[in-house]
Amino acid sequence: MTQRTPLSATLDRLDGIQLARAIAALSVVIAHAIDHPLKGNAGEIFQLGARYGVTLFFVISGFIMTQTTGLQRFNAAQFLNRRVRRVVPIYWFATFLVASVTLIAPGMFQRTVFDPQHFFLSLFFIPAYDPSGTGGIWPMFKLGWTLNYEMFFYVSFAATFAFGLVTRAILLTLFFGTCILIGQLYHFDAAIPTFYTRIDTLAFVAGVWLGVLNLKGRFRSDNVTLVVLLMASTALLAWIASQYPIIRLIPWTQVGLIAVCAAHAAILVILVDKRGRMPHRLWLYIGDSSYSIYLFHMFAIGAVTAVIRRLPADLMIPMIGVSALCGCIAGMIAYQFIERPLIRHTRGRRPVVA
């Protein structure tokens, strides 16, 4: 008889993954700190930085979900309950904050308008077109588009609760692979099929398979493996960066970026968790704060940008550094005084698992 794996049985913290989360968050923050003062005209290379960070977050998510559910069946209701309690409260806080500011001071956000239907869909992670007419598919709190993918992945992952580790990974690969194939073959006008058939979801699958390798004890930590992963991922990322203005819209570009992020996550697990090379505690704290940093960094960057645009051009570069630092600090403050209290309130005082 197949037994279910208690979700608490595989929750040992992997500091390599925390370091990866820190790198992902900083990649997004730095890219936005550079791009935002220039009104999106900083160049594709900086947009690649944000894309890298988000893709790395997706790979990490696939890895963590696999790691926390273990080798056997798991309790789907408990799994989804944990994910909702982890993701929803602070996201709703950020969404209500944006909605309130938009209603009170409509000119505060350049391209954000309050639409009741769009607001409702945003709260429940349902993809919808931006009511301001940009043509983008994102929620009212624009950074929440990644969470629409996250919740879609969680629900899909929970649907595999009755299967063991490898079968679960195969089913998820087939499901997301089919969605992506449909998206490549057909053009949809509706937001939901357009959004969920994009190639971005392949990053979750890559993370799932990394988790399988780790749980099965197949994570090789020898020097040859480490050097090959490092050299191959560096070469591929350098090529993508050099060609990015030309290839950024090609689907295979995202596949390559997913491979890079998967390799980087593997490298960090090998170095930190297999070889014991512990990062500084600040890196781990940034990793712990990464969700709040992602959600709240733009509030600080937006405020600093308003100052930057009034300064002489020769002060822009150092002020961009200040902007990135303020974005990180804002996220850490939100983690300490908003996210953690909300988690304690919704979960009691049980340990927080990412």
What residue ranges do the domains of the chain occupy?
Answer: 7-347
Dump the DSSP string for 196-210: HTSGGGHHHHHHHHH
Q: How far apart are the first and last CA of the chain?
A: 30
- Please give the backbone phi and psi of residue 129, each rounded to the nearest 5 degrees, phi first: -70, 145
219 secondary structure, DSSP code: -
- pLDDT for position 112: 87
Nearest to 201 by CA among 84, 20, 55, 67: 55
- pLDDT for position 354: 55
- pLDDT for position 287: 97
Query: pLDDT below 70 — which residues of the chain?
Result: 1-12, 39-43, 107, 348-354
Q: How many CB atoms lie within 10 A of CB 190?
A: 11
pLDDT, tens digit, 9 for 90 and up, residues 71-98:
999 999 999 999 999 999 999 999 999 9
pTM of the model: 0.93
249 secondary structure, DSSP code: T
- pLDDT for position 215: 94
- pLDDT for position 277: 84
pLDDT, tens digit, 9 for 90 and up, residues 183-214:
999 999 999 999 999 999 999 999 999 999 99
Coil/strand/helix, residue 136: coil
